[in-house]
Chains A and B, each alone.
Chain A
Amino acid sequence: MKTKLFIRLISIAVLTGMIHACSLDIPYENQFSDPDAVNTPRAARELLSTAYSQLPHPEFELSVLSDDFTPTSWIKKNSDLENLHKWEPQPILDLGSSLWQKYYGVIATLNALSERLPAIPISSEEARREVEQITAEAKVLKAYCYFDLLRLFAPDYRDGKEKPGILLKDRLELEFLPRTSVENGVTAIRQLLQEAASAMKQTDVCYWLSHTACLYLQAELELYAGNYAQAAQLAGLVIEDKGGIESMSASAYANLWSNNPSDERIFSYYSSTTASSFYIDIVYDTSSGDYLALNETLVSSYTEDDIRKEYTVLPFQTIFRTAQYMGKYNRMRKEKQEITYINKLRTAGACFLLAEASCLDGKNEARAVEIMNEYLARRGAPPLDDNLRGNALMRRILTEKWKEFAGEGQRYFDLKRYRRTLLSTWTTAAGKNITADDYRWNFPIPKEEYLYNDNVTQNTGWNQFIH
């Protein structure tokens, strides 16, 4: 009897011990799986932050393609950069591939976020507002990516809105999507921005997309799609939101290229850990100099009192002469300041959107001159002639925009847009041999997409490299 009791006791002890120890719900210490991963507004914000942090920064490369820079003698030491400056296909293939992957990386994170947002339990009014805000920001950020992809990889709206545009990726799952038309792309972006605009609240923190940023993108999109009146109206709202043109002070301008807050920022990338390599590629050697200097035409177009010159142009003493190097972020780097802000949308941009849209609208050119002059006064630059109209006015607007945004990649989009018309002579000035009909204006759909997706079509001209 005793032994039987003993067996029972042992068996029971062993079995209970094992069953107790046998739970398989062991979470990783540092990994979080669905459905417990993104289940609070805070985690959602952190996932959204990842999407923000994944944003690529093509500002420098696009400036190299445009006429912002002219090579120095050091360029021979960096054949990739030299070839990019010459629009050789290989560096454009590489750039296209990198940007495509990065923008779609942001979009994948945003899709992951938007699929999880509806399941977040709402515990308070504050939480509800935060989730709504995150939902809206995710839409604006996605629209931002789509718009950049559209402008880089698709023909310009006016070159044919029915032509193949971008891939609209709405789900985080393996898909082999075809390209939708440029026009459909614009519609999709417009819808995202409209949905977000109503739900978005205003924020003072420039590194989150705000209602103002949403309006800015809407204005830019409508200008791109040729709806000038609407674009002008939206751009006006942006300026109003930012406190009018009066808010554009010399100090606000100076702070744009520093780690201080600036009133002129509408949306800036901000990271103390990932932004630090921005603009590093222009530097050959801290003591010897840069691969690229500013375009001399650009440098000579500034008047002496223009505060834009002070921050854009960086005189650099080489052995033979004083070279006019790129300032802004490059200046920060040379002055050993950490780069943490990368300005993406700023008030000056809205002024140009308003001026450009008003001028192109044809009905309100005087308003364009007026806004330009208000802006130029803030920058310490001489005003435009009040009687300027038509193409002459547009050319002046684009020149001032060039001067404002030198080195920030904006010029590339203007060149692509106006290469057949207002800016058709840019190549002669920049020493580049790129015709308005060149295939390279539309970046190639990269190998990483094209070789694995049978539904995607390649942009004309690139088939010789990717097959």
Chain B
Amino acid sequence: MVSEPDTKESFLSNKNKYMKSRPLPFNLVGLLLWALFIHIPHPICSQETEDHLLSGLVTDPEGQPLPGANIRIKNTPYGTVTDMDGKYQLRGKWKKGAVIMFSYIGMKDVLMEFWGQKEQDAAMQSDDKALKEVSVTARQNINAIDLRARAGVVQTVDMKRLNEKPMMDMSLALQGSVPGLIVTNTGDLGSKPTIRIRGNSSLRKGDAANEPLYVLDGKVISSDAFMTLNPQDIKEIKVLKDAAACALYGIKAANGVLEITSQRGTNDGHVSVSYNFNMGVTMRGRRGVELMETDEKLEFERRLKNEATPGYRYSADYFRTKYPNSPELSAMIADGQRVLDSLRTINTDWFRELIRRSMYQRHNLSFKGGNEQTAYYISANYTMQGGMLPGNDTQRATVRMSLDQQLGKIGILSLSVDGGYAETDTPTGTSFTPASLVYNLNPYEQPSGGKLWSYPNRTYSDLLNQYSASSSDKRGGFSGSINLDPLEGLTVAAVAGIDFLLTEGLQFTPASSYAEQQSGAPQEALGKLNKYKNTVANISSNIRATYTRTFKEKHDLTLSANMDYYLTDNDNVSITGYGVGDHPSAALINQSLEKNRKPSVGSLKEKTAQIGYGLVGGYTYNSLYDLFATYKWDASSVLPKDKRWNGAWAVGAGWTPSNYRFLKDNKVLTRLNFKTSYGVTASLAGVSAASTIGTFAYSENTYGNQRLLELLALYNTDLKPEQTTSIDAGISLEFFKRLTVDFGWYKRETADALLDVPVPASNGFSTMKRNIGVLRNDGIELSASMKIIDTDVFTFRLGGSFAYNSNKVTDLYFTDKLYANETSLIPDFQIGKAYDIVYGLKSLGINPRTGLPVFEGADGREFKATDQLKREDFVELGHSTPPYSGTINVTFTYRDLDLDMDFYYVAGGVRQYNYTYVRDMSSAHQNAVHGLLDKMWFENGDQNKIYYSPFYSSAAIETLSYPNTNTVGKSNYLRMSMLSLRYRIPRKFLSRRCPFIKYANIAMQASNLFTLTPYNESDPETGQLGAAVQPVLTMNLSVTF
């Protein structure tokens, strides 16, 4: 090792005399052209040295391969970055005795002497002292101060594994990536999943009050924009979980933060071009329940005696009941038998018919390069995912460009531009999901078989061709940042960005469709068209000054202050009109129509802004102790002036005993770190002005000759922000440099939790937003990874995580059980109980005499299904959100072969069975679950049945509409979320056959291959029949030039 005095060098702050003599181009367009056309074909200057080829592996402090690390031969233009496996290969001309420098942001530079070796590995160590320019200058997100991570909980998503999942949806792919980040699929392709960090912090349901904040390169983006990002453009995702980590973002971060850093260029003087290609199929996925085949269904229909079903209508029973004395009875029976026999020849498996395999493909092309003055990154991506119905698909194309330019000695200018286009086409639109049709259509019906029994008077094509729709998202973003170092130790950075999303769509129901034909509207009013355009513009800016100083080589002090401003502008317009006939054009709307077919226009414009001021201070003593404190003051334009400003503060402390001299070289315990933090955030997220101050709006109605100015809500002038207090403690350990264990504990309490609660009707409104109680989330998170075998040819690593979250309503200020309204029997919240409890009845089974369930009431008494229910009769059946979740990650490497596997599991939740496939007499015309003939009560004396009598309508009996102990199941599941088998084409082969290729990989990749669950009905995650995440199986080719 060679010692080097100036190790805290930014990759762009090299003092290259050759480059410095160039004038600085400040014109942006000029800059871009200059970068693209002058510097891409950078000539390799020949020197009086030999050709060398150097390769090796760079690892992080945990011993894991480190992608994106820089390798440079000092004072030469040669440099490169490590690939996804932490490996690199550097070719060039340099002298013996040159210095090889390995660098990575946030880690100590490693310097090695070149003495002619062919291979050189490097193990990077995190730089506990490096809080200075190294990390700040090259950073887009100027809030991402490393200091946070030493007292707060900041976890990084493994982007390599994320990219191995062939999934279109960024947010779904995050499932299982970090313990405590809970991603739950909500339904069909394209629907937005629920993302929560450590549970809900508010009693209010929904995203507005509970979803985390998304920050891309320092600019705030919406969760919808996050979904459309291309994973391959992302260098890093950090998940900020506790108050100390989030406090820099202030009140917006009460639910945690996802910090996304995009790919940037490199300064190795080379252009690296990568092409990545995925192609495969989306499989059908898990079949929820087995349905009846024709024979069973016809027999079931006969027993239910519904005349609208062929099984009864053509049965001998029917004719005997209906025409007992007819002379033609036997002829009728024989005719009926013939009809039934012909139906028996048909046996359609609607699951296979409707849930189709579809195509999946993804192409990604990126250029990366630069020199010591300029770095750039350009990428283009195209993804296509087919839908379940033929013709329906979603396509997305994105481009991204970034440029970093050294501004002489004083700093760096960075620019990024990105754009995206996504289109969803639904030529055959149906309001029935394919999954619901699977359960409703009968096995004796066919796609081409005329009118259906299951949907009387309609044919299969009536069901499918209800409308056509198309929608598109156009997204564009621009951000620029300047990092300046005007004084020793002082950095001033500013970032400003705009993100724009235009969503357009059209939904068209032609005049010839079944719905329009049945609407009863006159000919000139047929054909419905809805067209909308919504725009969202996000503008963010942030300016931050950071001062860092080291005293006496032991005391590191960092002080930082910032001011940020975010503005969101929503502008929506829509038109709906009728009478367009069979042409999907808004120009054809018949404007003479009146009443409910009158053309209508919708409009919404909403502009909101937030401003914040923050202070941060950090101190580290001798790499042993860390102290961290932050205060952020934020204001939102949504709130009235006196409630606008709210504060968030946090303090944290860290202790790293393994940095003591006596532990420094311990072979067993190679790292030991403790950290703890405490923070308080005041949040009014999701609260609008109407809840806190008299707010009025005009309605469409009129009185006399006047418009109506209406009061929007019963406002609460005493409304206080929710106070979220969180305490965190964590320990991280490393043994033998092989086993790392991270353990964290947290308790987050939200006092003054807000909720719309019922108020006496004499107040003129039925609900009012009030501070009603206290809820608490506490839990533990554990993650561990271990290198079990680690040799040159074979490695085997095992990792896993486990998270447990328990939530509880600890106080309600005005009551001890809160009901949503005066008629509900089940409390929404109850003191001492979790907020996600599923309440239901205790079933004692089906009464063999009546065929209806019998329940056990509050006092142990038995009561009938037809009895009047009381609030006391309900018992807890379990949690709707599984409290336990985690992952298991397995990695095998054998020579050039890699095998990665990820499993995701959840446990401890319950879910009510759907039961829509259990038919009663009135719904007997639709298909039913296999086995009902045995398991259903049909007549007096049927013992030990599971399903109650089909001769009652469940809508008429209140007790049947609630879950009970027999109609819920455990929603635990274990899913293989990712499987990737990759073969790296050996370098020797490449250098011989195709020397222009640096790396090449071929892989088989699959996501969500299978799910194991004791839940023997629908999808345990979404609770919907057939809406499970579908497995995607792809081939992947990745080449870097």
Task: Report the separation of the CA atoms of residues A49 and B716 in the bound assembly, to the nearest whole angstrom.
Answer: 24
Q: Separation in Å of the A106 CB from the closest CB of chain B?
A: 8
Enumerate 25 A-B pairs (CB-CB under 8 Å) in ascending A order. Answer: A14-B496, A22-B565, A26-B607, A30-B697, A32-B696, A33-B695, A43-B709, A47-B711, A49-B702, A49-B703, A50-B711, A53-B702, A53-B708, A108-B765, A172-B714, A175-B762, A270-B704, A271-B701, A271-B703, A273-B701, A447-B822, A447-B823, A448-B761, A448-B822, A456-B760
Q: Separation in Å of the A19 CB from the closest CB of chain B?
A: 9
A213 interfacial contact with B, CB 8 Å = no
The residues in A between 87 and 123 inclusive whose CB is less than 8 angstroms from any CB of B are 97, 100-101, 104-109, 111-112, 116
Q: Which of A14, A24, A53, A456 contacts B703 (CB 8 A)?
A: A53
Q: Which 8 pairs, one residue from A and one from B, show the smallest C-beta to C-beta distance?
A: A108-B764, A448-B761, A46-B709, A447-B822, A453-B760, A49-B706, A53-B703, A29-B605
With A26-B609, A46-B707, A52-B704 known as contacts, the answer to whether A108 contacts B694 (CB < 8 A) is no
Q: Separation in Å of the B974 CB from the closest CB of chain A?
A: 45
**What is the 8 Å Cβ interface bit string for chain B, positions 705-728, against chain A (1 contact, 0 not)?**
011111110101100000000000
* Chain B contacts for A47, CB-based, 8 A: 696, 709-711
Task: Report the separation of the CA atoms of residues A50 and B699 in the bound assembly, to the nearest whole angstrom.
Answer: 9
Task: Report the separation of the CA atoms of residues A452 and B317 in the bound assembly, to the nearest whole angstrom.
Answer: 56
* Chain A contacts for B698, CB-based, 8 A: 30, 46
13 more A-B contacts (CB under 8 A) besides A24-B637, A32-B695, A52-B703? A21-B541, A29-B607, A31-B689, A31-B696, A43-B696, A46-B706, A53-B708, A108-B764, A174-B714, A174-B763, A207-B703, A270-B703, A448-B766
B1027 interfacial contact with A, CB 8 Å = no
The residues in B between 335 and 354 inclusive whose CB is less than 8 angstroms from any CB of A are none
* Chain B contacts for A105, CB-based, 8 A: 764-765
* Chain A contacts for B703, CB-based, 8 A: 49-50, 52-53, 207, 270-271, 274
A residues sitting closer than 8 Å to B (CB atoms) are 3-4, 6-7, 10-11, 14-15, 18, 21-26, 28-34, 37-38, 43, 45-47, 49-50, 52-53, 97, 100-101, 104-109, 111-112, 116, 167, 169, 172-177, 205, 207-208, 270-274, 446-449, 451-453, 456
In the complex, the chain A residue whose C-beta lies closest to that of B567 is A21
Q: What's the dominant secondary structure at chain B's contact region?
A: strand
Q: Separation in Å of the B498 CB from the closest CB of chain A?
A: 12
B543 interfacial contact with A, CB 8 Å = yes
Q: Separation in Å of the A304 CB from the closest CB of chain B?
A: 38
Contact between chains at A30 and B605 (CB < 8 Å): yes
B636 interfacial contact with A, CB 8 Å = yes
Task: Report the separation of the CA atoms of residues A174 and B611 in the bound assembly, to the nearest whole angstrom.
Answer: 32
* Chain A contacts for B837, CB-based, 8 A: none
Contact between chains at A29 and B606 (CB < 8 Å): yes
Q: Separation in Å of the B602 CB from the closest CB of chain A?
A: 11
B36 interfacial contact with A, CB 8 Å = no
Contact between chains at A104 and B484 (CB < 8 Å): no
Contact between chains at A7 and B711 (CB < 8 Å): no
Which residue among B608, B697, B761 has the maximum number of chain A CB atoms within 10 Å of its CB? B761
* Chain A contacts for B714, CB-based, 8 A: 108, 172, 174
* Chain B contacts for A109, CB-based, 8 A: 710-711, 764
* Chain A contacts for B644, CB-based, 8 A: 24
Which residue among A7, A31, A33 has the maximum number of chain B CB atoms within 10 Å of its CB? A33
B482 interfacial contact with A, CB 8 Å = yes
Task: Report the separation of the CA atoms of residues A451 and B249 in the bound assembly, to the nearest whole angstrom.
Answer: 42
Task: Report the separation of the CA atoms of residues A29 and B697 in the bound assembly, to the nearest whole angstrom.
Answer: 10
Contact between chains at B762 and A53 (CB < 8 Å): no
Q: Which of A4, A24, A104 contacts B636 (CB 8 A)?
A: A24
Contact between chains at B697 and A271 (CB < 8 Å): no
Task: Report the separation of the CA atoms of residues A100 and B764 in the bound assembly, to the nearest whole angstrom.
Answer: 9
Contact between chains at A104 and B759 (CB < 8 Å): no
Q: Which of A22, A31, A274, A452 contacts B760 (CB 8 A)?
A: A452
Q: Separation in Å of the A273 CB from the closest CB of chain B?
A: 4
Q: Separation in Å of the A443 CB from the closest CB of chain B?
A: 13
Q: Separation in Å of the B890 CB from the closest CB of chain A?
A: 49
Contact between chains at A6 and B410 (CB < 8 Å): yes
B494 interfacial contact with A, CB 8 Å = yes
The residues in B between 494 and 532 inclusive whose CB is less than 8 angstroms from any CB of A are 494, 496
Contact between chains at A274 and B541 (CB < 8 Å): no
* Chain A contacts for B410, CB-based, 8 A: 3, 6-7
With A30-B605, A33-B693, A37-B695 known as contacts, the answer to whether A50 contacts B710 (CB < 8 A) is yes
Contact between chains at B708 and A26 (CB < 8 Å): no
Contact between chains at A34 and B701 (CB < 8 Å): no
In the complex, the chain A residue whose C-beta lies closest to that of B770 is A174
* Chain A contacts for B486, CB-based, 8 A: 4, 7
B635 interfacial contact with A, CB 8 Å = yes
Contact between chains at A37 and B696 (CB < 8 Å): yes
B775 interfacial contact with A, CB 8 Å = no
In the complex, the chain A residue whose C-beta lies closest to that of B710 is A50
In the complex, the chain A residue whose C-beta lies closest to that of B606 is A28
Q: Which of A33, A116, A173 contacts B640 (CB 8 A)?
A: A33
* Chain A contacts for B157, CB-based, 8 A: none
Q: Which of A10, A273, A453 contacts B702 (CB 8 A)?
A: A273
Contact between chains at A174 and B706 (CB < 8 Å): no
B359 interfacial contact with A, CB 8 Å = no
Q: Separation in Å of the B328 CB from the closest CB of chain A?
A: 35
The residues in B between 746 and 765 inclusive whose CB is less than 8 angstroms from any CB of A are 758-765
B329 interfacial contact with A, CB 8 Å = no
* Chain A contacts for B492, CB-based, 8 A: 7, 11
B700 interfacial contact with A, CB 8 Å = yes
Q: Separation in Å of the A444 CB from the closest CB of chain B?
A: 12
Q: Which of B565, B704, B768 contacts A205 (CB 8 A)?
A: B704
Contact between chains at B761 and A101 (CB < 8 Å): yes
B604 interfacial contact with A, CB 8 Å = yes
Contact between chains at A107 and B702 (CB < 8 Å): no
* Chain A contacts for B760, CB-based, 8 A: 175-177, 448-449, 452-453, 456
Contact between chains at B702 and A271 (CB < 8 Å): yes
Q: Which of A14, A23, A107 contacts B764 (CB 8 A)?
A: A107
* Chain A contacts for B607, CB-based, 8 A: 26, 28-29
The residues in B between 828 and 884 inclusive whose CB is less than 8 angstroms from any CB of A are none
* Chain B contacts for A43, CB-based, 8 A: 696, 709
In the complex, the chain A residue whose C-beta lies closest to that of B765 is A108
Q: Separation in Å of the A32 CB from the closest CB of chain B?
A: 5
* Chain A contacts for B608, CB-based, 8 A: 26
Task: Report the separation of the CA atoms of residues A38 and B770 in the bound assembly, to the nearest whole angstrom.
Answer: 25
Q: Which of B611, B712, B764 contacts A104 (CB 8 A)?
A: B764
Task: Report the separation of the CA atoms of residues A33 and B605 in the bound assembly, to the nearest whole angstrom.
Answer: 16
**What is the 8 Å Cβ interface bit string for chain B, positions 42-57, against chain A (1 contact, 0 not)?**
0000000000000000
Q: Separation in Å of the B538 CB from the closest CB of chain A?
A: 13
B563 interfacial contact with A, CB 8 Å = yes
With A18-B563, A270-B703, A271-B704 known as contacts, the answer to whether A169 contacts B763 (CB < 8 A) is yes
Task: Report the separation of the CA atoms of residues A325 and B716 in the bound assembly, to the nearest whole angstrom.
Answer: 49
Contact between chains at B409 and A3 (CB < 8 Å): yes
* Chain B contacts for A11, CB-based, 8 A: 484, 492
* Chain B contacts for A34, CB-based, 8 A: 640, 693-695
Task: Report the separation of the CA atoms of residues A112 and B709 in the bound assembly, to the nearest whole angstrom.
Answer: 11
B774 interfacial contact with A, CB 8 Å = no
Contact between chains at B697 and A31 (CB < 8 Å): yes
Contact between chains at B409 and A104 (CB < 8 Å): no
Contact between chains at B710 and A167 (CB < 8 Å): no
B589 interfacial contact with A, CB 8 Å = no
Which residue among B408, B695, B703, B768 has the maximum number of chain A CB atoms within 10 Å of its CB? B703
Task: Report the separation of the CA atoms of residues A449 and B699 in the bound assembly, to the nearest whole angstrom.
Answer: 27
Task: Report the separation of the CA atoms of residues A106 and B764 in the bound assembly, to the nearest whole angstrom.
Answer: 7
Q: Separation in Å of the A51 CB from the closest CB of chain B?
A: 9
Q: Which of B707, B708, B770, B822 contacts A451 (CB 8 A)?
A: B822
B685 interfacial contact with A, CB 8 Å = no
Task: Report the separation of the CA atoms of residues A272 and B704 in the bound assembly, to the nearest whole angstrom.
Answer: 8
In the complex, the chain A residue whose C-beta lies closest to that of B763 is A174
Task: Report the separation of the CA atoms of residues A1 and B808 in the bound assembly, to the nearest whole angstrom.
Answer: 62
In the complex, the chain B residue whose C-beta lies closest to that of A100 is B761
In the complex, the chain A residue whose C-beta lies closest to that of B698 is A30
Q: Separation in Å of the B886 CB from the closest CB of chain A?
A: 43
